[in-house]
Amino acid sequence: MIERGISQERLEILWLCVAAVSLVFFLRLINLQILRHVYYREIAEKNRTQVLPQSAPRGRIFTRDSAAVAANKPSFSLIYFPGRLRSVDAMDKMAQSLSKRLNAPFEELRAGLYKAVKKEAPMRLAENLSSKAMFSLSELKTMYEGIDIIVEARRYYPFGKYLSHLTGYISKMDSREWALYGKNKDYGMDSRVGKAGLEKTYEKDLKGRDGGIYLEVDSRGKLNRILESRKWAPGADIYLTVDSKIQAAAEEGLKRSSTSRGAVVAVDPRTGAVLAIASMPDYDPNRFVSYSDEKIADDFKELPEFNVAIQGTYAPGSIFKIVSAAAALDSGRLDPAETFFCPGYYDAGSRVFKCWEKKGHGRVDFMQGLTHSCDVYFYNLGLKTGALNIEKYARAFRLGLPTGIPLPDEKSGNIFGPSIRAAKKSYWFIGDTLNLSIGQGEMLVTPIQMAQMAAAAANGGIFWRPYYVERIVNSAGEDIFKGKPEMLSRAVLKDSTWASLKDGLKQVVLEGTGRAAKINGVDVFGKTGTAQNPHGKDHAWFVAFAGLAGETCEIAVAVLVEYGEHGASSAAPIARDVILAALRGKLPENREKSQVTSHRSQALREVVGTTVPAAQSGLKELSVSTAAAAEEGR
């Protein structure tokens, strides 16, 4: 008999295989129990629990004087927790009762109830309910088992359309936004996110940490019990550089204008801080967060989201004469004492260019030409200075470039000059020089660029990046961001050039076309403009900077009234109201009146028993102040 055995070599290979398999199992065990223990525990926990999320309050948005322009209100959501299986008749009866109180389709509610029972899981039947609906549903809680109401935060804009283009709005996220935010566990498919303005730009700061109700379920997903309710954490609050009184004056001024269309931008020429930014037509961001049980007929396709202040491009008209004058004076190609005769037109040979004053201004020098905005004077000035020189100084004033304000879709406008034509291998004509001299032709600017130009004229040529966030404060009260001035560039001109420009712009307000902006006790420097518009009536411009008499200028403002025709009558009065709102409390003759108004307002609040914050009541007081200012200027 032959005895067969296993060779030692093969036995060693077998043991080696056993050891390798054991090592794999051992490593897998380490991975499960140690390296990825937390991950798999969470997976197991998710299989055992379900969460009903409760949205956290978004961070609030305040003006620099503490008026809340974006806040939160309590909102109510209806939840159904399925218990024992109900009959079809009972479910239909419940859906019918809910439909009447929620003003919602019966079929949708019935489908939600059926789904909750079938899956044996809680279901959100309605959200963002008004207080009226909530109280109505509270009665049903005693009639139908499983109905509950949870409290969530709803975005609320106390002043409606006020500052809407800067604030923006929120709405439910779409697929593109889900791809952007979906990786963050604080977002769900039905989360609301910022769609425009501050709400969009600072979404990550404003978004809080959601809470929720944690429910225990069995292996089939059936609800066993409520484990806990985790509280949300609010988002960070944003404090703006915008002043509520200045902003209110800007918006009221545009509303009272002949067309109620246009923009106002006011900045601090010392820092670049935005004091007001208004765009008309505007919109009420509350339209996007209306209560779900309210029927509101709305067409969001007609929403005026276009921000005229940073996206609207227009010919500057005569306000561009500030740049033309700077080019002429600084290049030394024009003697300010030299005079030109204005008969009301300029004959360029192939074409006659008219002055806005049909009867003409007669013989005028630089100061008179700027004061009365004589087009014929500036035609001559442009020819003596040269179009290339004017284009050079236009670039020094950062025309054709975005200001850099941190808002989406800002336009850069269009710079007009012979170098552009040369690059396109096109011709430059004498008529182009004449048009360029008075801000017509192909030159396009935005209101915020013109506010920057006025600010640079006020501070000696410094261009600050416009900023509107003063600070961001987290829920713990800590500053996580502080805005600060950032210099972009400087237009370097002779001191004598700046002095002559200021003298001329001051005379515009004292004796010239800008007299409607005159304020006693305030040095106002301004320039009117009327920009030709091929699509209708001319647009009205006014730019200015101002400060208390003999002191540093504190505000620069640009006003555009679409189809307003004349800057002197349409735009200058608005600028006056804006400047007055910025400086009124500092004027000696008005301090006593301001104190009296404040005391009366406080007394009124005490009488009617309201709890309106002082900063909010200031907006209402401003309407009285603005009306008084208008009466004073008549």
Which runs of E-coded beta strand occur in 203-347?
211-217, 223-230, 237-240, 262-267, 274-280, 340-342, 345-347
Sign of CA dihedral 508, 511, 513, 514: positive
E strand or H helix that includes residue 192: strand 192-194
β pairing state of 522-531 and 539-548: antiparallel
Q: What pLDDT does residue 126 have?
A: 76
Amino acid 84: pLDDT: 54
Q: Give residue-wise pLDDT tens across range 292-330.
A: 545 444 555 566 889 999 999 999 999 999 999 999 999
pLDDT at 112: 80
Candidates 3.90.740.10, 3.90.1310.10, 3.40.1010.20, 3.30.70.860; correct CATH number of 49-240? Answer: 3.90.1310.10
Alpha-helix residue ranges (DSSP H) falling in 332-446: 366-371, 375-385, 387-396, 418-423, 430-437
Q: Output phi, psi for 274, to 5 deg.
A: -80, 125
Domain ranges of the chain: 49-240, 274-287+306-342+354-586
Does the fold of domain 274-287+306-342+354-586 match that of domain 49-240?
no
Q: Does the model's pTM come out above 0.85? A: no
First to last CA, the chain: 133
Regarding beta strands 61-62 and 237-240, do their DSSP bridges make them parallel or antiparallel, or are they unpaired?
Answer: parallel
- Which tokens is 238 given? 């944003």
* Whole-number pLDDT of residue 181: 82
Residue 417 DSSP label: S
pLDDT at 625: 35
* Predicted local distance difference test score (pLDDT) of residue 108: 80
How would DSSP label each residue in 316-358? -GGGGHHHHHHHHHHHT-S-TT--EEESSEEE-SS-EEEPSST
pLDDT beneath 70: ranges in the chain: 1-6, 32, 35-53, 83-86, 119-122, 130-131, 141-142, 189-190, 215-228, 290-303, 589-634
pLDDT of residue 305: 84
CATH 3.30.365.10 fits 274-287+306-342+354-586, yes or no: no
3 state DSSP class of 539: strand
